[in-house]
Amino acid sequence: MNDDFMEEAIAEAKQGLSEGGIPIGSVLVRDGKIIGKGHNKRVQDGDPMTHAEIDCLRNAGRIGTYKGTTLYSTLMPCYLCAGAVVQFGIKKVIAGESKTFPGAKEFMESHGVEVIDIDSEECKQLMQDFITVKPELWNEDIGE
């Protein structure tokens, strides 16, 4: 695991927050290089599907195979994003935290994905601060 990549995901989350959105960021890495990055744009784009991981994969574009890639996300991926991970054969996910939202860790693991939760204080604080200020936006994001 490379903390620089999680730092990039956190930078994406902060960019999303500065745009009035939900502070979740993601980067896709292969061979030690970032090949895609993104952040949750549900609010900014008015699109319920634009979670951070989906934005990241869209921004990576058509890369052929996802063999050897690792997806970093500031928050444990939800079932939507975990489905994309499984569908494209991404075999490793590094999540910043899963206290705020447990996500779909077991689902990914049951499909052969290695999932590492680094339990980052910075990632947890980013989400806790956001949820305190905008609980209704967070509840909308997680389908509550």
What CATH number should be reported for the domain holding residue 45? 3.40.140.10
Please check whether residue 144 lies inside any domain of the structure.
Answer: no
Phi and psi at residue 103, to the nearest 5°: 65, -155
Question: pLDDT-based confidence at 89, cuts 50/70/90?
Answer: very high
Do residues 82 and 103 lie in contact, with contact meaning Cβ atoms separated by under 8 Å?
Answer: yes
pLDDT recorded at residue 13: 98
The domain in which residue 115 lies consists of: 4-137
Q: Assign 144 a pLDDT band (cuts: 50, 70, 90).
A: confident
Please tell me the distance from the alpha carbon of residue 57 to that of residue 53, in angstroms, as a whole number.
6
Strand order in the sheet with 33-39: 33-39, 25-30, 69-73, 92-95, 114-117
Has residue 124 got a pLDDT over 90? Answer: yes
* Res 9 pLDDT > 90: yes
Query: Number of structural domains, the chain?
Result: 1
Examine residue 143 and state whether it is found in any structural domain, yes or no.
no
Mean residue pLDDT across the chain: 95
Task: Return the sign of the alpha-carbon dihedral for residues 109, 113, 118, 120.
Answer: negative
pLDDT class of 57 with cuts at 50, 70, 90: very high
Q: Quote the pTM value.
A: 0.95
Active-site option among 8, 12, 53, 97: 53
12 has catalytic annotation = no
Q: Is 61 left (phi over 0), alpha (psi -120 to 50) or beta?
A: left
In a domain, 142, yes or no: no
